[in-house]
Amino acid sequence: MPSSADLDDPDVRIQVAATALGLQGVLGGWGAARLYEEAACLSRGDAGGFRAFDGRVPWPEGRGEPEPLLMCMNRDAKFEPHPGARTLRSDLTEDERTVLAGIPVTSPNRTAFDLARLRSPISGLVAIDRLAHLRLIDLADFRDYVESMGRRRGAPQVRRLARLADARAESPPETVLRMIWREAGLPAPEVNASVYDGSGHFVARVDLLDREALLVVEYDGAHHSSAAQRSRDAARELELEALGYMVLKVTAADLASEDARRELRTRLARARRRALYRRR
């Protein structure tokens, strides 16, 4: 590795870890997920777009600090701890390992399983959603895989997250918003659902939709900040309200801390009660 290499760069970190591993183990966690994500995005013609697995502790819990790489080693491997990495002693089956871009990595299902059990619940669900959205894992197959893991450490958390996962989620904030919705005890919403008027004409595609309550919940992110976009958003919201929908906007500040998320759970539950009341 050249002395000028940026050791904070996630791809450099992956290469350094792969060299250190040699034949003694495989790369897992976000490192494996990043390689899968990159291959999937390139195959879709998305060379410079969003990447969820960037080597940092995920938002909203992280503040830009590096996330340790996961090195999966056989239980009898002789291996010294590697700086910036976490070692997991686990005898992988042949189905749980493969080679991608010349680097031995955990399979997509095993990658999702480890991310979901070693990260926080929020970040774990973000990882499962992202891998499912890219069609790197099939959620039905993944749930079966998780059941096969029996009483492995962290398996109960992964089972719960696998039940909540949705391949239609397109961004981490959408996943976090949906998790808060479910934590509020509300029924499963439709994700990135289309709304049509009475004549069957398309009106809007919305982040979360509760058709029973006619409640729409939207994440208002940075891409909504331009004047033109805000004008389009306002017109869209008026169309939805004319059809009887209540629209609730959520921002990054509503997701950024546990206190904010607690307040949002209360706000969502109240909004749904009001929406249901309006339909009487």
Answer yes or no: do 204 and 158 share one domain. Answer: no
What is the CATH classification number for the domain harbouring 246?
3.40.960.10
Report residue 211 as tokens. Answer: 């058709």
Answer yes or no: do 199 and 136 share one domain. Answer: no
Integer Cα distance of 58 and 170 in angstroms: 15
Residues 139-154 pLDDT 10s: 999 999 999 999 899 9
Write down which residue in 167, 187, 212 finishes a domain.
167
Domain containing residue 255: 175-278
The mean pLDDT value for 72-99 works out to 83
Write down which residue in 143, 167, 191 finishes a domain.
167
The mean pLDDT value for 97-118 works out to 96
Write down which residue in 144, 167, 190 finishes a domain.
167
Residue 103 has pLDDT above 70, yes or no: yes
Instruction: Judge whether 5 lies within some domain.
Output: no
Of the chain, the percentage scoring pLDDT greater than 70 comes to 94
Instruction: Judge whether 4 lies within some domain.
Output: no
The angle subtended at Cα 235 by Cα 251 and Cα 213, nearest 5°, is 65
Give the predicted TM-score (pTM) of the model. Answer: 0.91
Peptide bond just before 60 cis, omega within 30 deg:
yes
Answer yes or no: do 153 and 182 share one domain. Answer: no
Residues 166-176 pLDDT 10s: 999 999 999 99
Describe the strand order of the beta sheet including 190-196 as a list of residue ranges. Answer: 190-196, 202-210, 215-219, 246-250
CA-closest candidate to residue 58, choices 142, 143, 105, 121: 121
Answer yes or no: do 125 and 237 share one domain. Answer: no
Answer yes or no: do 120 and 232 share one domain. Answer: no
Note the Cα 225 to chain centre separation in Å: 23
Answer yes or no: do 256 and 131 share one domain. Answer: no
- The pLDDT score that the predictor gives to residue 17 is 87
Answer yes or no: do 22 and 139 share one domain. Answer: yes
- The pLDDT score that the predictor gives to residue 172 is 94
**Helix 155-164 and helix 172-183, axial crossing angle in degrees, nearest 10:** 100
CA-closest candidate to residue 179, choices 110, 250, 245, 230: 250
Residues 11-69 pLDDT 10s: 999 998 888 887 778 999 999 999 999 999 998 888 778 899 999 999 888 888 999 99
What is the distance in angstroms between the CA of the first residue and the CA of the last residue of the chain?
68
Integer Cα distance of 223 and 205 in angstroms: 15
- Where does the pLDDT of residue 225 fall: very low under 50, low under 70, confident under 90, or very high at 90 and above? low
Q: How many domains does the chain have?
A: 2
- The pLDDT score that the predictor gives to residue 57 is 93
Residues 163-217 pLDDT 10s: 999 999 999 999 999 999 999 999 999 999 999 999 999 999 999 999 999 999 9
